[in-house]
Each structure stands twice: as C-alpha cells, then as structure tokens.
Amino acid sequence: MELEKILKMLEEREFKELKEELSGMYPVDIAALLEEVDKRQIVLIFRLLAKEEAAETFTYMDSDTREFLINALTDSELEEVMDEMYLDDTVDVLEELPANVVDRLLMATDEETRAQINTLLRYPEDSAGSVMNVDYISFRKEMTVEEAILKIRQVGINRETIYTCYVTEQRKLIGWVDIKDLLTSSESKRIEEIMDTNILYAHTHDDQEDVATMIKKYGLVAIPIVDYEMCIVGIVTVDDAMLVLQDEATEDISMMAGVSPNDESYFGTSVWQHAAHRIPWLLFLMLSATVSGMLLAYYEKSMAAMPILITLIPMLMGTGGNCGSQSSTLMIRGLAVGEIRFKDIFKVIFKEIRIALIVGVVLSVANAIRIYVMYHDIKLGSVIGITIIAIVCMAKVVGCTLPLVAKRLGLDPALMATPLISTLLDTGTILVYFAIVTVMFDI
C-alpha cells in the first residue's frame, strides 16, 4: 500500500509530496522500499532523502541495491553519504563490496577517516573491534557536570552513543557516567564525584558473540571496548549486540541442519552458492551412511531367515536418530546461552540416562502393543521392546556427550547436531538391533 502510494507519486512527479512522505518514514523501511522498486527509480527516490536519512538508509540496503547506487551516484553525492555515515557502518558496507567499488568509496572520504577505516578493517572478523562504534563521548574527571553537558551539546552525535559516557585519563578508561546522573546532579559537581569506577568492558579482539552476551546479561545500553593498554577505542551498542546475537543463532541453526553458515540472506545467495554450502555435509554423510549399508549386508542371512526384521529398521533408525537429536539440540542451545558448561558433563549424562529409561519404557510398551496387534507375536514384541530401550539409552548418551566434547575440544558444538548424530546413530542402531535379535532368536 505504502509502495503503491509512493510509486503513484513518482509517476505523477509529485516530488514535493513524495519528499515529505519519505521524511516521515524510517530509514530501515525506506531501504526495504528501494529493494521493491525499479532500478531507475532507486536513484530518483534516494536523491529526495535528507542527507542524514540517506546515509542511514544506505546502511540498511542489501548489497545489490547498494552497489547499483554507488555506480549511479556522482562523486560529490557519494562523498556526502560517506560523511554522514557512522564509521562502523561504513566498514560493514565496505566489507561486502567488490574491490573496485571500495576504492571509489574510499576516494570519497577524507584522509583522517580513511586511516580510521583502515584500522577498523584490520580487526579480525567477528571480533568486538570489527563491530564497534568509534563515536562515543569521553570526559576528563576534572570536568564539571556543566562542562560535560556542554560537551555533549557540542559533539551532538547519535543518541544510542550518549546514554553512557566514559571518563578517561590519558586515554585510559577510568570510569563511566550514565546520562541520567548528569541530568540529576548539580551542575557544579565534578565528574569524578559522580562517576562509577566499577566498569564492565571488553577487548578489541574479544569475540563479538561474547561481547553481545555480556550486554544482554548485564542489561547494558553500550559497552566500552579497550585495547591492551586499557585505552578506550570504541563502544558496542545494544542495537548491534541484538543483530550479532540474531546472526549467531541463525549460524547455529544452519549448522545444526548441515548447511555451512553464510552471512548473506536466503535470496541474496545464488543457487550455486547455496549448493556449495550444502553439498559438503551431504556428501560426507552419504558416504558415512554406507557403513550402515555394509552392516545390513553382513546381517543379510538373519534378515532372510526372518524378513519381518527388515520392516522394523526404519522405525528403529528413526527413533534412535530423533532421541539423539533431542538431546544434542538441548545441549547445543544450553551451551550457546551459557546455561550448560563442560564441567556439567556427568550431571548431564546421569540425567539423560534417567530420561532415556522413562522414554524407552514408554516407547517400547507402545511398540510392543502395536506389534502384538499387527502380528500377534509376543516374543517379537518383547525383543523389540528391549531393543528400543537400549537404542534410546545409547542415543541420549551419545547425543548429550558429543556437543559437550566438541566444545571442550574448541570445535563448534553445533557441528554435533542432527545430521551427524543421526548418521552415527544409524550405525549404532543396526549393531544393537542385530546383536539383540541374533541372540534372542538364535539366527
């Protein structure tokens, strides 16, 4: 509806009304709009935006639209956008663009900014340094509250970045002041009287996920990032932390389904890239599954003697795989949100075994009833019952142990999710199944 209204305005060349309409919209919504309109209209709409709004919209665009726009804008227009953008956003934008476009963008910035950008680009991917904001407010401890408020007025930067201000002494971080304290303290007080010296901070090289988790845990609006000399070099704000946590959850979920993680969106990824992200796991799992196949070949004679055994295989393999993935998934998520740690491993195994016994008994009774109803065979029902209990116990123990062990070894626990666990358990299930039936039926 919004889109139609705007397209109509464009068509009828009501630029003044359109400009007003756009000024009432949020940049994130304008960026979404630009992805929907025709290429040639993108530039038209973009040029109607106020400078600050244009820069913010630019940061929310997908990389296609952004690249198109960069090629369409004049050098001086580009310079204006770059001037208004926050440095951390500029760096995000640059990281996604092809080298020739990056060069053109860097040409549009002044030398000082270029040096800062280069510093930021040098931080490792996924580090706190790579997501931090270099716009923050710092006070000296000798300043009065009045001087501090004056400084905020003069600097006048983005609002997220002023809720907490930092106190430095020769660039070293020595305290912080909440804006509320500034507002409610007498103007003649000195900053050192009202500052809090109990500081939560992170290092430039810390993992961005750990930093985001700290922000969440302590309910912060921003956290200062320091270098190895305790000098403040930037801040990570809560809005960036939310995006980091979302991306990390998406990464975990993809990996848990055997898809290599990918920073791009579903539609932003080409068919070939999608295939490339999915094939390695599938190939590995397909070849691993031949082990289960070879085991089946080994037990061919038993199956020939009792053909009904074959028909139970999908049910047993399915149950083993599902039980295992329930446990491994709970572990992977528990590790990710910091609720479960490696030292809990024995507590976890003991708990999972008890759960497995309850689950196993319920499933095997249900199944014994089904087999009795279908085949009137009590012995088969009880043998399969025992098999199910054994398989569930094996599945739960394997499922809860592997993610914890992976974490301990410094691997990503999400690797030990459904695809790998269920392929492993397929083999285990067949072994347990035939071990039990060959003994019980003497075949």
Q: Are 22 and 48 in contact (CB under 8 A)?
A: yes
User: Residue 374: CB partners within 8 Å, gap ≥ 6?
Assistant: none
258 counts as binding its own copies under rule CB under 8 A: yes
Among 37, 259, 345, 415, binds its own copies (CB under 8 A): 259
43 counts as binding its own copies under rule CB under 8 A: no
389 counts as binding its own copies under rule CB under 8 A: no
Question: Closer CB to its own copies, residue 118 or residue 273?
Answer: 273
253 counts as binding its own copies under rule CB under 8 A: yes
306 counts as binding its own copies under rule CB under 8 A: no
Question: Closer CB to its own copies, residue 12 or residue 239?
Answer: 239
Interaction with its own copies in 391-420: which residues (CB under 8 A)?
418-419
Which listed range, 43-51, 114-122, 209-217, 432-440, lies at the site for its own copies (CB under 8 A)? 209-217
Q: Are 232 and 212 in contact (CB under 8 A)?
A: no
> Going residue by residue from 128 to 157, which x/- string records binding to its own copies, judged by CB under 8 A?
---------------------x--xx--x-
Which listed range, 1-9, 69-77, 81-89, 218-226, lies at the site for its own copies (CB under 8 A)? 218-226
Q: Are 298 and 342 in contact (CB under 8 A)?
A: no
Interaction with its own copies in 332-361: which residues (CB under 8 A)?
332-334, 337, 339-340, 344, 347-348, 351, 354-355, 358-359
Closest CA to 148 of 135, 167, 134: 167
124 counts as binding its own copies under rule CB under 8 A: no
Question: Closer CB to its own copies, residue 124 or residue 318?
Answer: 318
Closest CA to 393 of 353, 429, 364: 353
User: Residue 112: CB partners within 8 Å, gap ≥ 6?
Assistant: none
Interaction with its own copies in 220-249: which residues (CB under 8 A)?
220-221, 238-239, 241-243, 245-246, 249
Interaction with its own copies in 155-174: which residues (CB under 8 A)?
156, 159-160, 162-163
Dihedral sign (CA 245, 248, 249, 250): positive
Sequential DSSP letters for 376-442: --HHHHHHHHHHHHHHHHHHHHHHHHHHHHHHHTTS-GGGGSHHHHHHHHHHHHHHHHHHHHHHHHT
307 counts as binding its own copies under rule CB under 8 A: yes
Among 80, 178, 207, 210, binds its own copies (CB under 8 A): 178
* Amino acid (1-letter code) at residue 93: V
In which residue are the tokens 């109607």 written? 48
* Amino acid (1-letter code) at residue 145: V
Interaction with its own copies in 420-439: which residues (CB under 8 A)?
422-423, 426, 430
Question: How many Å separate Cα 55 from the centre of its chain?
Answer: 25
List C-alpha distances in Å: 441 to 297, 325, 368, 380, 384: 19, 31, 17, 9, 11
> Going residue by residue from 260 to 299, which x/- string records binding to its own copies, judged by CB under 8 A?
-----xxx---xx-xx--xx-xxx-xxx-xx-xxx-xx--
